[in-house]
Amino acid sequence: MRAVLVANPKGGAGKTTLATNLAGHFANQGKKVTLCDLDRQQSALRWMAFRDPEMAAVTGYFGGNQVVLNMPREADWVVLDAPAGLQGYKLSDYLREADRVVVPLVPSIFDMAATEDFLNSIRNEMRSRRGRVGIVAMRVDPRTKAATMLEEFLKHFDIPIVAYLRNTQNYVNAAAGGATIFDPPRAKHRRDVEQWEPLLRWLEK
């Protein structure tokens, strides 16, 4: 079993979008995947409830009220969808369980400011596990001023950007049907799937 924690203290950063799409990717690869929803709002589980039983299977459960996180060891991949405001002992707990930490980050001054302390905490806690934390630049085109601003900001933390995902309704529309960009109709999502490749390679490393 390998576990990926998707976390950022800011609401709306794209955690649930990343977590559900990651689960969709692994499911479409024929992997046994479990979504562990750590957020009281349970958006990931709500998404799962919309999922067509004909689609590649994703199982899930609510882990947000567990004192000690109970991981499904029989799964190939566990994707942990963290709540906004995650910090302190809960953050440490979740970091301990995770093989990889993915932090979606929107290049806006509000999002970057709200994420600064968090990035410092995980950098300290993951010191002995360098290379396990990656940023996903969310809703951004890599050739823009916004992308440069994000790269400048991240230099302070020594955490790599492992993917740039564009701003597109494809994520919104797929989610509405319990689907992901990795589910059919695939032709429609080709450009987005391509953008995930560096992230997926980094996760498999």
Ligand X SMILES: Nc1ncnc2c1ncn2[C@@H]1O[C@H](COP(=O)(O)OP(=O)(O)O)[C@@H](O)[C@H]1O
* Closest CB 171 distance from ligand X, rounded Å: 5
Which CB, 128 or 169, lies closer to Mg ion? 169
* Closest CB 145 distance from Mg ion, rounded Å: 27
Please state, in angstroms and rounded to a whole number, the distance separating the CA atoms of residues 134 and 92. 17
Stretch that binds ligand X, among 46-54, 154-162, 164-172, 181-189 (CB under 6 A): 164-172
Please state, in angstroms and rounded to a whole number, the distance separating the CA atoms of residues 86 and 18. 17
Of residues 81 through 140, those in contact with ligand X by CB under 6 A are 138-139
* Closest CB 127 distance from ligand X, rounded Å: 25
Would you give the binding string for ligand X spanning residues 9-38, x where CB under 6 A is met?
A: --xxxxxxx---------------------
Which CB, 80 or 119, lies closer to Mg ion? 80
* Closest CB 56 distance from ligand X, rounded Å: 20
Residues 6+ apart with CB under 8 A from 155: none
Which CB, 108 or 168, lies closer to ligand X? 168
Would you give the binding string for Mg ion spanning residues 32-71, x where CB under 5 A is met?
A: -----------x----------------------------
Residues 6+ apart with CB under 8 A from 110: 10
* Closest CB 185 distance from Mg ion, rounded Å: 25
What are the residues binding ligand X (CB under 6 A)?
A: 11-17, 43, 138-139, 165, 167-168, 171-172, 175
What are the residues binding Mg ion (CB under 5 A)?
A: 15-16, 43
